[in-house]
Structure 1
Amino acid sequence: MSHNVLLTGASGFVGKAILELLLVRGHAVVAALRQEPTDLNPLVKVARFDELDGSTDWRNILGGVDIVIHSAARVHVMNETDTDPLTAFRKVNVNGTLNLARQAVEAGVKRFVFISSIKVNGEGTPKGQPYLADDVPAPGDPYGISKMEAEAGLRALAKETGLEVVIIRPVLVYGPGVKANFRAMMHWLDKGVPLPFGAIENRRSLVALANLADLVLTCVDHPAAANQTFLVSDGEDISTSDLLRRMAGALGRPAYLLPVPSVLLQWGAKLLGKQSLSQRLCGSLQVDIKKTCSLLNWKPPVSVDEALGLTARDYKEKTTK
């Protein structure tokens, strides 16, 4: 069944993948953007807005829309510069989200799909004890708090108005066009630089961009998705060391990984004030997606190795131009 979909954040890493899949599956899309697009599909109707906050006027944009996919956000950054980050996150992620949702109700929108974050659950798990979708939230930073508050506001609005709300909490997303630490690791592996990450025995859940987009599209109209919260991953938890070896293989390179004990890496990171990076590299963060798979009759369509291959191919194409 095709829908008229408003997609926010359509020019972002995740938003672009969702947009492409919406078009492939025959949906009519309005892409809400803050800046003029440069490479969007001509089939997409573009709507401009200035700021995403509690005062944004969405009325002209929401006409005829029956599904909203909200992926725009003030995203988590490793080196926060705002003097009051919680207020800055709340302005966009809480006030902006709930303002859009309220106007969506007034416009007759049926379903609101919200791209949240695993940071609502917390910052990490003991190895072998994954997060569940219905765990009590325990966010550890302003970004996670803002996403948790937005979720709570959406659930309250759903009870009050009948709007169907679907919440999706992704773990770390990777795929073609990935940036930040994931791309940096690809760069060093491609250059053959020895890395001190050969003895890390953690477990991390990741989600390929293609798998996340597929789940979002499933949640657009699956009857069982209404008013549910879903965790999403590739369904295979791997260690940082294993990830780097498989990433190197996808790049067609040997992995030069030195077996430095995790405790030494964490100690060094603490001295350098890089505890958050150390947690990502050495700590575990696992999610249980049984609810997602069983309730929606869904499974990740792309394996970890297939996704790494796509990511590596895109990286190679872009770095050899």
Structure 2
Amino acid sequence: MKKILITGANSYIGTSFERYLRENYPNDYLIETLDMIDVNWKNHDFSNYDAIFHVAGIAHADVGNVSEETKKLYYQVNCDLAYETALIAKEAKVKQFIYMSSIIVYGESAPYGKSKVITKDTKPSPANFYGDSKLQAEIKLKTLQDKDFNIVIIRPPMIYGRESKGNYPMLSKLAKKLPVFPKISNQRSMLYIENLCEFIRLLIKNNGYGIFYPQNKEYASTSMIVKTINPKIKTLGLLNLGVFISSKIPGKVSGLCNKAFGNLVYDKTMSIYDEEYCRYDLKESIKRTEGLI
């Protein structure tokens, strides 16, 4: 039985992973959670675990107008805390440390009408301090890799699932309220939470190491997601002109428009793993997220 410690309490990914293992593999993994806000976390005995799954961090928020003090906090939590935790784990002879980074290390999505395909050769280029705090953590953590201590860095695209936060639930609310929606064939890499959980499980099972880019097998389009959530909604190409105009308005309007209808994908070859981790396809995962099945 593999023993796993989740460092970071009450995170969406951490709690989802714990639930996933208990529901699907109850006899194969022993899993515990450590609250990193408690100042006594450093006194915890790390020596009993095979793997540390580090999910403590400050999530992506409005990065437009923040103080230098807030920016400093992002680096302290997303970078310094992760490195310190990994150091303690290494000293305790833990075999594997898994860090949740993000596709955000490559910057924002391409604006509406333009494509952005990330390949193995694409260099990280964070657009803001949030993305840079993740990238700096990666750089520091990779120095700890050796034959006895494996570092795993996961750069997922947008994660969604039941009770998820961020852009997906906002889109879901719109889909249920609006009678019509633009008919736009943009492309986004996305990752259903249970597909991610299975991927992490396989990495732990295999004691893997390196940088990974898990995603669903299919790219998603915003219109397709909305139509799957609410089959009654009408998608109209006539509304695309409004999206185009909105994408040209400086400031928050274009920012929101590009987030909703921009393009950002991983080349699919980057996400292939030796074992299958996508338990659910895109449409089924959306229906599961919405409680439709």
Unaligned runs of 5+ in 1: 35-48, 317-321
Matches within 5 A, 1:1-321: 2-23=1-22, 24-25=24-25, 26-33=28-35, 49-50=37-38, 57-78=41-62, 82-84=66-68, 85-125=70-110, 130-133=117-120, 135-159=122-146, 162-191=148-177, 193-194=178-179, 197-223=181-207, 225-226=208-209, 228-249=210-231, 254-258=232-236, 259-261=239-241, 262-268=243-249, 270=250, 273-294=252-273, 296-313=274-291
Residue identity matched to 2:175: L
**Distance in structure 1 (CA, Å) of the matches to 2:20 and 2:164:** 18
Aligned residues of 2:13 and 2:193 also touching (Cα < 8 A): yes
**Could you tell me how far 1:245 is from its partner in structure 2?**
1.2
**Distance in structure 1 (CA, Å) of the matches to 2:223 and 2:154:** 28
TM-score scaled by length of structure 1: 0.80
**Distance in structure 1 (CA, Å) of the matches to 2:10 and 2:109:** 29
**Distance in structure 1 (CA, Å) of the matches to 2:84 and 2:120:** 25
Aligned residues of 1:292 and 1:298 also touching (Cα < 8 A): no
Q: Which digits, 9 at most, give the CA deviation of each residue in 1:128-182, with x for residues without a partner?
A: 65213553211111111011010111101115x8420111111111111123332
Q: Which digits, 9 at most, give the CA deviation of each residue in 1:272-296, with x for residues without a partner?
A: x2343222112100012424324x3
Aligned residues of 1:125 and 1:131 also touching (Cα < 8 A): no
**Distance in structure 1 (CA, Å) of the matches to 2:120 and 2:148:** 22
Give 3-state SS (helix, strand or coil) of 2:82's partner: helix
Give 3-state SS (helix, strand or coil) of 1:157's partner: coil
Q: Which digits, 9 at most, give the CA deviation of each residue in 1:170-226, with x for residues without a partner?
A: 1111111123332122223223x245x413232111111111111111111325x32
Q: Residues 138 and 79 of structure 1: is their aligned pair in 2 closer, same or farther, counting only changes over 3 Å?
A: closer
Aligned residues of 1:134 and 1:229 also touching (Cα < 8 A): no
**Distance in structure 1 (CA, Å) of the matches to 2:99 and 2:156:** 11
Q: Percent identity among equivalent residues?
A: 24
Residue identity matched to 2:164: V
Aligned residues of 2:109 and 2:116 also touching (Cα < 8 A): no
Give 3-state SS (helix, strand or coil) of 1:278's partner: helix
TM-score scaled by length of structure 2: 0.87
Aligned residues of 1:175 and 1:208 also touching (Cα < 8 A): yes
Q: Which digits, 9 at most, give the CA deviation of each residue in 1:82-135, with x for residues without a partner?
A: 412431210101110000000001111100011110011221258665213553
CA RMSD of aligned residues (A): 2.4
Residue identity matched to 1:163: F
**Distance in structure 1 (CA, Å) of the matches to 2:66 and 2:58:** 12
Q: Which digits, 9 at most, give the CA deviation of each residue in 1:266-316, with x for residues without a partner?
A: 134x36x2343222112100012424324x3334111111111111117x9
Aligned residues of 1:130 and 1:285 also touching (Cα < 8 A): yes
Q: Residues 60 and 238 of structure 1: is their aligned pair in 2 closer, same or farther, counting only changes over 3 Å?
A: closer
Aligned residues of 2:35 and 2:41 also touching (Cα < 8 A): no
